[in-house]
């Protein structure tokens, strides 16, 4: 029997009718059978402040870090703000990236999808996120990508993804991510056995 892969998903938008929150829900439905996606809501993560961190992580930050640590991989669904990463998402990643040398993000497989109302489907945000992943020593899936432009035409008014082609991209992406996570897990086992 194939072991279930636990993926933690979070969205870079707090908007109630966010396309990216809707995208997370679509991903849950389109995930391969071996993959279970649970959602963490970033709304409760406070603004990063090292003075607060020095006194100990706030409870919601602790919960976020624990959820990341327990996950086999991360799925980020995010809009692009001003050609870059929305503050909500960057702030959450900043908290999770600490302490730098032992952060829960290190070695974590991650995949990004994004929906925007513009034409380029969050391409520049996804590129900017790759710098963050590099510093944090995470392992992003390169391809296939999910870049959803003109999101208003792809989701209905209740937030359901209605575009079949986009569903196919998401499904292919998650299949690829499942393989990527397994490759990294198997590689880690080989390295650990040689220690």
Q: Which of 10, 19, 64, 177 lies at the binding interface for ligand FNR (CB under 6 A)?
A: 19
Segment interacting with ligand FNR, rule: CB under 6 A, options 1-9, 18-26, 44-52, 54-62: 18-26
Task: Give the tokens for residue 101.
Answer: 């040398």
Q: Which of 2, 69, 70, 83 lies at the binding interface for ligand FNR (CB under 6 A)?
A: 83
Specify the residue, 21 or 139, whose C-beta has the smaller distance to ligand FNR: 21
Helix (H) or strand (E) holding 174: helix 164-194
Segment interacting with ligand FNR, rule: CB under 6 A, options 16-24, 105-113, 170-178, 186-194: 16-24
Segment interacting with ligand FNR, rule: CB under 6 A, options 14-22, 36-44, 59-67, 184-192: 14-22
Question: Does the protein bind ligand FNR through residue 87 (CB under 6 A)?
Answer: no
Q: Provide the H-helix boundaries in 15-137.
A: 19-30, 50-54, 59-70, 87-96, 123-135
102 to 121: interface string for ligand FNR, x by CB under 6 A: --------------xxx-x-
Q: Where are the beta strands (DSSP E) in 43-189?
A: 73-77, 109-115, 139-140, 146-148
Nearest to 67 by CA among 45, 82, 91: 45
CB 194, min distance to ligand FNR, A: 44
- In the region spanning residues 139 to 178, those forming contacts with ligand FNR, defined by CB under 6 A, are 151
Decide if 85 contacts 129 (C-beta within 8 A).
Answer: yes
3-state secondary structure of 67: helix
3-state secondary structure of 11: strand
Looking at residue 82, what DSSP letter applies?
T
3-state secondary structure of 173: helix
CB 98, min distance to ligand FNR, A: 26
Q: Which of 81, 133, 177, 180 lies at the binding interface for ligand FNR (CB under 6 A)?
A: 81
Which residues of the shown chain bind ligand FNR in the complex (CB under 6 A)?
13, 15, 18-20, 79-83, 116-118, 120, 151
């Amino acid at each position: 029997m194939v072991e279930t892969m636990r993926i933690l998903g979070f969205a870079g938008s707090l908007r109630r009718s966010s396309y990216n929150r809707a995208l997370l829900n679509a991903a849950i439905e389109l995930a391969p059978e071996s993959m279970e996606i649970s959602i963490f809501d970033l709304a409760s993560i406070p603004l990063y402040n090292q003075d607060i961190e020095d006194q100990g992580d706030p409870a919601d930050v602790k919960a976020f870090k624990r959820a990341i640590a327990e996950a086999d991989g991360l799925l980020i669904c995010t809009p692009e703000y001003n050609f870059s990463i929305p503050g909500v998402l960057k702030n959450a990643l900043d908290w999770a990236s600490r302490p730098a040398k032992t952060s829960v993000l290190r070695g974590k497989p991650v995949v990004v999808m994004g929906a925007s109302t513009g034409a380029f489907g969050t391409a520049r945000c996804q590129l900017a996120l790759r710098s963050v992943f590099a510093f944090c020593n995470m392992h992003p899936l390169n391809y296939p990508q999910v870049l959803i432009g003109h999101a208003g035409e792809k989701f209905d008014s209740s937030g359901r993804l209605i575009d079949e082609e986009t569903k196919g991209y998401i499904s292919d992406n998650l299949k690829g991510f499942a393989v990527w996570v397994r490759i990294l897990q198997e590689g880690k086992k080989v390295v650990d056995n040689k220690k």
